[in-house]
Every structure is written in structure tokens, then in C-alpha cells.
Amino acid sequence: MGPRAAPKHLIGELFPFGILPPGFAEGKITARQYDDRAIVLISTTVVEQSLEGALLKRFKALSPDEEREIFSEDGAPLSSFDPKVRIGFALGLFGKLAKTDLATLRHVRNAFAHSRLEITFDTPEIALACAMLRKAMGLGTHTQDVPRERFIMNTFEFTSEFLNIDAKYDEEAEERRRAWLDLPAPHPES
């Protein structure tokens, strides 16, 4: 799959097609310069890679050979997106709503990756799938009635949270992270 997305990467390196509002970074490439298929394939690959990194943070330390046996060799148990989502859910990295959104992202990705027909975010089935995604809580919430924007913002939110899965947040940011990943509130100390 290539090098894994990591917290050291700049957002523009991971999402080169414009997740920030117009004028935020002058001269940057925008989503309109990428076709819909490229946007879907790039952004879901970044989500999958960041989820893989989050899983690795929960596993015992693995050698590079052990990582390949689990994630990338032929027949590896976590070589595709679906089993990574299932294990992430089982490990408590996210809740049912987030699991459903990740499954929707995967279904949209598969439609673009395997369709022989020309499909876009305006294709009725794709637009409907994107409408089923929750509105992302980050930048650009006002544009998320557009299927492309909602899809991009969802992939951005998941990537951001997975890359920073063990980051220390202030109380407000932690509440936002828990809401996005659909995690229960922490239990009060006894």
C-alpha cells in the first residue's frame, strides 16, 4: 500500500485536493483539479493507513516482518480495509456510528475502484451514500451538503483522529474526539 500516513505528515501532503476553505492556503491544489475517482481512492487510502497506524499503537511492538505478516502479505488477516475496521471497533478505537461511516466510506471506495462505468459524486447512489455520512465536525461544515465535500471532510476527520489516537487533548477537544469516534464518556473517578 505504500508508506503509512503518520502524524508527522502535513495535512496538505495527505489530502492534496483542498479540505481547507478557499483562500486558506493560497496557491494550493483544489479538489476541482482531481477527478472524483482520484479523490475517493486517495482519501480512503489515507484513512486506511491511519487506521492501520492506530491499530499498531494498540498492538504489542511488532518487527517489520511481523507487521508485513499481519498487514501486507498475501492472505494477511488485516490486508484490507474491512477487517481493519472490525478490529478497530473490537479494540474500542471507535463506536458503532463511526464503524458505520467507515463502512460507507469503504463501499463508496469500492464502487469507484471497481466500476467500469463513469461514476461521480453526483451519481445518485454515491450522492445518497455520502448523504448518509455524518456531517464532519471540522472545517467547512457549511459546504457538507455537497456529496464531495462531505466525503472529503469525513475522511479528513477520521484520518486526523486516527493519526492522533493517543494525543493528549484539552477537555473540549477530547469531548469533540469522543463524539466523532462515537466513544462513551469516560467514567468518573470513584
Q: What's the pLDDT band for 4 if we cut at 50, 70, 90?
A: low
Whole-angstrom CA distances from 164 to 28, 34, 48, 120, 144 are 24, 27, 14, 31, 24
pLDDT at 150 over 50: yes
Residue spans of the domains in the chain: they are 28-179
With respect to CATH, is domain 28-179 assigned 3.40.50.261? no
pTM over 0.95: no
Distance CA 170, CA 148 (A): 31
Q: What is the pLDDT of residues 57-66, one digit of tens each?
A: 999 999 999 9
Provide mean pLDDT across the span 163-183.
Answer: 85
The pLDDT value given to residue 166? 81
